[in-house]
Amino acid sequence: MNDILPDQCAIWQYLEDCFRAVAGSRGYREIRFPLLEQTQLFKRSIGEVTDIVEKEMYSFEDAGGDHISLRPEGTAGCVRAAQQHGLLYNRQQRLWYQGPMFRRERPQQGRYRQFHQFGLEAFGMAGPDIDAEIIELSAAFWRRLGLADSLKLELNNIGSAADRERYSAILGEYLASRADELDPAARGRIRSNPLRILDSKHPGNRQVARDAPAMTEYLSPESVAHYAALKQLLAAAGIGFTENPSLVRGLDYYNCCVYEWTTEVLGAQSAVCGGGRYDGLVAQLGGRPTPAAGFAIGVERLAMLLETLGKLPANAQFRADVYIVVIGGAISAASQALARRLREQFPDRRIVCQCGGGKYSQQVKRAFDMNARLLVVMEQAEGEPPRQVKLRDLHNSFEPRLAPIDQCGQEIGRLLSQNL
Ligand code: AMP
């Protein structure tokens, strides 16, 4: 499990603020649901014969004998929660969520056993317009982060559940005829989940997959029309994409259009976002048939991409707005009183008061450690209460200025409002 340090938290806060703004401005509302769910929920939704369910879930029996798992992804829990609370009953719903997910994968750069996602799901809309809206939303998020040129959209049509059933049978027959060229894991999946063999990285499997009958030949006219309309909508929105016939996704609930946003900057773990339609899932989990679509973004990979490309803006770093120090180093009730007054006057600013005394130079170093903007220096004269403070802008070199202590708030407000 990876620790998330303060600097990373500041970056994540920035990402969360941006995502919340982009999703919120399109009518998506935040939903929260538990990290623990019944294991059965994930088996029924993601699929029994998938890597996630077969080998990556953290599952256990609790003291009451219930089989529960840490959520490996968000869609299943989101559908369960939305359905249980009547959010899907006879209406459309646009939802987003965020939080940790857990998969017991081999840890490496960009792949963790506890990772975080921003997820988004839309329910009750069957047309390609909602797919285009969701993809456009992700594109707007990349633009806002300055990543528009660093991420590419890959798209595929995996057909309806019925199309896939038909195609899986044909693919299974083909794969069985070349079973001796496949690795043992793939051989075991010829009947249970032949589609997953198509996106395998194993060289032998890849060779066999290259010559496999193409899914496009087995798609229903409805799937073909839906996908074609989505491509037109994306073109109209100015969103470029490449079609990747081997993109099948690792979760069984997807149908029709699926996609991934990938980057060349992060090495092997190149997918930053994955999504698609999942029209059968709500009914499969006991609800009324409800068309649905959504995506999930990997927050660690996104943060890594921003850092690698040097695209982090100043507000993605922690900054104290005001740091109060006391010359003479004495522990001072006056500096605490000033901090209290400033916090009341500027409730949204970060006002930090030096604690523990120390030499002036050490105190100033602490202010720099906190990336402070304004240094407020209080001079404590022997036996007399301080009457004035010196203000220094640590991000902007101007002559320090003096202000009477009881009126310094006004000057501090003026200096902070000057954007750098
Ligand atoms: P998925 O739920 O598998 O479609 O994944 C959606 C996104 O979550 C991926 O594109 C990655 O960015 C991210 N992701 C998935 N698994 C991991 C992991 N083990 N560690 C870090 N990020 C992950």
Task: Write down the pLDDT at residue 329.
Answer: 60
Q: Residue 300's domain is classified under what CATH number?
A: 3.30.930.10
Q: Point out the domain boundary residue: 309, 342, 362.
A: 309
Strand bridging mode 322-327 / 374-379: parallel
Compute the distance from residue 16 Cα to the ligand 1 centre, in Å: 17
Residue 331 has pLDDT above 70, yes or no: no
Q: Decide: residue 284, CB within 10 A, 0-12 exposed, 13-18 middle, 19+ buried.
A: middle
For the entire predicted model, the pTM comes to 0.90
Q: Can you count the helices (H) and strands (E) in the chain?
A: 15, 16
Nearest residue (by CA) to ligand 1, atom 18, is: 111
Q: Which of 30, 5, 98, 46 is nearest to 285 (CA)?
A: 46
Q: What is the pLDDT of residues 307-329, one digit of tens each?
A: 999 999 887 888 999 999 988 76
Distance 271 CA to ligand 1 centre (A): 7
Q: Let me know whether 83 and 13 are in one domain.
A: yes
Q: Which residues of 169-207 are buried (b: 16+ CB within 10 A; e: fewer)?
A: eebbeebeebeeebeeebbebbeebbbbbbbbeeeebee
Residue 251 pLDDT grade (very low, low, confident, very high; cuts 50, 70, 90): confident
17 lies in the same domain as 112: yes
Tell me whether residue 266 is in a domain. yes
Same domain, 265 and 409: no
Examine the pLDDT at 419 and tell me if it is beyond 70.
no
Handedness of CA 336, 339, 343, 345 (dihedral sign): positive
Model confidence pLDDT, tens digit, residues 208-249:
998 999 888 899 999 999 999 999 999 999 999 999 988 888
Which domain range does residue 280 map to? 6-160+220-309
Listed residues 258, 280, 309: the one ending a domain: 309
Pocket of ligand 1 (CB under 6 A): 73, 103, 105, 110-112, 115, 117, 250, 271-274, 296, 298, 300-301
Q: How many domains does the chain have?
A: 2
Residue 243 and residue 137 share a domain: yes
Say if 202 falls within a structural domain.
no
Q: Token pair 């982009």 is at which residue?
A: 22
What is the rounded distance in angstroms from the CA atom of residue 115 to the CA atom of residue 190? Answer: 31
Tell me the β-bridge partners of 389: 378, 403
- Asked whether residue 246 is assigned to any structural domain, the reply reads yes
Q: Where would I find the beta strands (DSSP E) of 141-245?
A: 152-157, 242-243
Q: Is position 187 within any domain?
A: no
- Distance of CA 5 to CAs 13, 112, 165, 390, Å? 12, 15, 46, 33
Residue 172 lies in a domain: no
Ligand 1 geometric centre to CA of 166 (Å): 29
Do 89 and 24 share a domain, yes or no?
A: yes
Pocket test for ligand 1, best of 108, 248, 273, 281 (most atoms within 8 A of CB): 273
Are residues 152 and 44 both part of a single domain?
yes
Tell me how far apart the alpha carbons of residues 119 and 98 are, in angstroms, rounded to a whole number. Answer: 6
Provide the token pair at 151. Answer: 């991420």
- Provide the pLDDT confidence category of residue 1 given band limits of 50, 70 and 90: low
